[in-house]
């Protein structure tokens, strides 16, 4: 092969292997100003690209859920990714499914623009091009589109690449999941990318997201906070000072002055449209332009006992050495129905540093053995166990194994120590957890989406006796599709004050050996 031929082959190979390189040289988009420009991936698109490529290298295929703010360029990236792949392979089909006809037309027009303006040396031969299909003859590959309002769309096709846009807003979402999504084989090289803004709680996208956060199945959860988008910032006038709420909001999320000013202006716009004051960060702004996934899924009128910003602050805080404080372990025992037991530690101002674990274990004796092994490993001063449902059996087994003095059962429905302020023990320990997070000294939590969602899940009310009453777990599960087991486990570590004891280094007892063998 000549030198020129070798160079041309290397150029083509890089275009085939490197989407970022290919997009900048071969794909055109229409900018917001109306001009045609080369597709240079923005910060959000690079972030998504890195996550998808890492999953593909690890799993062999892509299964992703992308929760986003408005208009960060996610659909453009997915469209470019799929066009790049179907034009570099044989017998490949990409399918786009959106929530309404106009959105379908817009995304398909973008794919056609990619094709029409693609440089001739890398542009495949067009076989068919109409309102619903774009195919490439020699490759036997192509694009198809559909709208989710149509029943059974995509069900009979074999698809390698599926792009679901605004999935949280699909009508008949569960039917499409049973149809079009099942048309993608579970084999290497296939991709399913479902992206959406949030639409409250419940429904297909929300349920898939919660499963992904729990680590169940192949899907990875990718959240795009609004401030990752480089376009969401504005120049503040000289002398402008953010209101206190926005000053704190900016500090919490480490925002620049330009980002804080943009958030303040957009929040004021949304608040004015609803006839509300714009000096605080409104729930409408948080839902449309979320900084966390928990904000995205919030529902107006639902007040969480623990605000998401308290959890975000704790996830970014380092409490330092806490050896002076007693080490405590909280164990929330699953009540069945798909729930999972949870174990978490807390020592002073830091939690979840040694163990933060969800456990799929329906057998109480097996769970008791697991907890006993963690007690032997961690040597906590005290282990608090939820006594509801199956928790009493776990406690009894641990007492039988010789841990009675080191394990305390907690009845959530029992009378609170401060009965004037709290309706029951569960409300009291969650109130103590909230105060711990809100303390100016700072608390430390692991950066764990599951723990975050569970801590922010329970709502509350003030009953007729002016006591704080926490939302029941059954109602939370009906409303959100999750039981806040991780939050309950951490709250259990506040069940009663514990003083650190000075004792000799632990020695494994006969009981410990029996547990290990058993």
429 pLDDT higher than 80:
yes
**CA 308 → CA 213, 296, 384, 451, distances in Å?**
16, 11, 25, 11
Q: Work out the average pLDDT over 215-223.
A: 91
336 pLDDT higher than 80:
no
pLDDT, one tens digit per residue, over 150-170 is 665 555 568 899 999 999 888
Fold (CATH) for 320-492: Nucleotidyltransferase; domain 5 (3.30.420)
- Determine the pLDDT at residue 508: 46
- Higher-scoring residue by pLDDT: 73, 479: 73
- Determine the pLDDT at residue 415: 95
CATH 3.40.50.300 spans which residues of the chain? 19-224
In whole angstroms, what is the distance from residue 74 CA to residue 139 CA? 27
Q: Work out the average pLDDT over 185-206.
A: 87
516 pLDDT higher than 60:
no
CATH 3.30.420.240 spans which residues of the chain? 320-492
**CA 278 → CA 226, 246, 376, 460, distances in Å?**
18, 10, 53, 25
Radius of gyration of the chain (CA): 27
What are the beta bridge partners of residue 409? 385
Q: Which residues contact 266 (CB under 8 A, 6 or more apart)?
A: 232, 285, 289
Share of the chain above pLDDT 90, in %: 53
- Determine the pLDDT at residue 1: 65
Q: Work out the average pLDDT over 252-273.
A: 93
21 pLDDT higher than 60:
yes
Say how many C-beta atoms besides its own lie within 10 A of residue 19's C-beta. 23
Q: Work out the average pLDDT over 444-456.
A: 88
Q: Work out the average pLDDT over 14-37.
A: 90
Q: What is the pTM of this model?
A: 0.74
In whole angstroms, what is the distance from residue 81 CA to residue 143 CA? 12
403 pLDDT higher than 90:
yes
- Determine the pLDDT at residue 382: 96
What are the beta bridge partners of residue 192? 63, 162
**CA 425 → CA 305, 382, 439, distances in Å?**
15, 18, 21
52 pLDDT higher than 90:
yes
CATH superfamily of 19-224: P-loop containing nucleotide triphosphate hydrolases (3.40.50.300)
Average pLDDT, the chain: 87
270 pLDDT higher than 80:
yes
Question: Which H or E run includes 250?
Answer: helix 244-252
Q: Are 278 and 261 in contact (CB under 8 A)?
A: no
Say how many C-beta atoms besides its own lie within 10 A of residue 300's C-beta. 10
510 pLDDT higher than 50:
no
Q: Work out the average pLDDT over 323-345.
A: 88
Say how many C-beta atoms besides its own lie within 10 A of residue 47's C-beta. 16
In whole angstroms, what is the distance from residue 322 CA to residue 346 CA? 10
Apex CA 169: angle with CA 168 and CA 173, to 5°?
Answer: 75
- Higher-scoring residue by pLDDT: 5, 354: 354
């Amino acid at each position: 092969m000549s030198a020129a031929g070798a160079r041309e082959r290397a150029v083509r190979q890089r275009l085939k292997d490197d989407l970022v390189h290919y997009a900048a040289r071969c794909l055109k988009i229409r900018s917001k100003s109306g001009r045609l420009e080369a597709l240079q991936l923005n910060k959000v698109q690079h972030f998504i690209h890195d996550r998808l490529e890492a999953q593909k290298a690890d799993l062999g295929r892509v299964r992703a859920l992308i929760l986003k703010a408005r208009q960060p360029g996610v659909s453009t990236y997915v469209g470019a990714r799929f066009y790049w792949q179907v034009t570099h392979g044989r017998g490949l089909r990409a399918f786009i499914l959106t929530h309404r006809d106009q959105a379908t037309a817009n995304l398909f027009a973008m794919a056609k623009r990619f094709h029409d303006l693609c440089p001739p040396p890398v542009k495949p031969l067009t076989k068919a091009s109409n309102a619903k299909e774009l195919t490439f003859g020699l490759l036997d590959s192509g694009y198809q589109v559909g709208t989710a309002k149509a029943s059974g769309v995509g069900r009979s096709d074999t698809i390698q690449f599926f792009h679901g846009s605004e999935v949280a807003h699909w009508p008949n979402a569960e039917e499409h999941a049973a149809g079009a999504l099942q048309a993608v084989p579970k084999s290497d090289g296939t991709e399913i990318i479902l992206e959406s803004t949030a639409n409250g709680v419940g429904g297909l996208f929300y349920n898939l997201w919660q499963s992904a956060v729990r680590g169940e199945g192949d899907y990875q959860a990718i959240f795009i906070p609004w401030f990752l988008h480089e376009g969401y910032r504005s120049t503040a006038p000289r002398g402008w000072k953010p209101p206190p709420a926005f000053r704190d909001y900016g500090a919490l999320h480490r925002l620049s002055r330009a980002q804080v000013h943009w958030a303040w202006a957009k929040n004021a716009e949304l608040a004015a449209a609803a006839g509300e004051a714009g000096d605080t960060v409104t729930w409408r702004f948080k839902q449309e332009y979320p900084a966390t996934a928990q904000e995205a899924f919030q529902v107006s009128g639902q007040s969480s006992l623990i605000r998401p910003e308290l959890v975000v602050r704790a996830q970014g805080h380092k409490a330092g050495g806490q050896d002076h404080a007693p080490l405590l372990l909280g164990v929330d025992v699953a009540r069945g129905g798909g729930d999972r037991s949870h174990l978490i530690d807390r020592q002073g101002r830091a939690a979840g540093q040694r163990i933060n674990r969800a456990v799929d274990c329906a057998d109480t004796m097996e769970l008791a053995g697991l907890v006993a092994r963690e007690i032997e490993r961690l040597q906590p001063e005290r282990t608090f166990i939820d006594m509801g449902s199956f928790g009493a059996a776990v406690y009894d087994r641990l007492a039988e194994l010789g841990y009675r003095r080191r394990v305390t059962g907690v009845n959530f429905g029992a009378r609170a120590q401060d009965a004037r302020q709290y309706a029951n023990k569960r409300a009291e320990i969650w109130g103590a957890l909230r105060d711990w997070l809100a303390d100016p000294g700072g608390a430390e939590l692991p950066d764990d989406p599951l723990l975050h969602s569970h801590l922010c899940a329970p709502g509350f009310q003030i009953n007729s006796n002016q006591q704080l009453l926490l939302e029941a777990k059954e109602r939370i599960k009906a409303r959100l599709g999750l039981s806040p087991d991780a939050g309950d486990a951490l709250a259990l570590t506040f069940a009663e004050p514990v003083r650190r004891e000075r004792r000799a280094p632990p020695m494994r007892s006969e009981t410990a050996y029996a547990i290990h063998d058993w």
